[in-house]
Structure 1
């Protein structure tokens, strides 16, 4: 059973980029996929840095995009969950 983490995956990835640890972001998303019984090798993981919304305490937000390597569309719920704000 996955342990509870009060921070969303998107928050963790954004923090990694802010701290210069973006190299480990892909592994973090792969672990997240494994926890949801998905095969990480079936996905291409892309990161998009965007300015944080007005009023946010953050400077930037990193959006995570999943693309299936077999060309099939990514399940909408999975794409939504990967970028859940909390």
Structure 2
């Protein structure tokens, strides 16, 4: 993960810097929650359609996608996982 991304992620007040699997799951939850909440808000976005809100969500998800990708790269780069049939 890039150092810039690491510093951005650590700014989240609930980010857990522990190395255990529970810490990783908690941090993954932080990435997934905005997607979950958007799905809860979708019906209201139809009622109160505001282009600015949609634009802000798109911006948030774009940044989250970059962070998630770098997060997964750091996990799988450090561990060699080989799958064979």
After TM superposition, the score normalised by the length of structure 2 is 0.29
Which structure exhibits the higher relative contact order, with contacts defined as CA atoms closer than 8 Å and separated by 6 or more residues?
Answer: 2
- Say which structure is richer in strand: 1
- Say which structure is richer in helix: 2
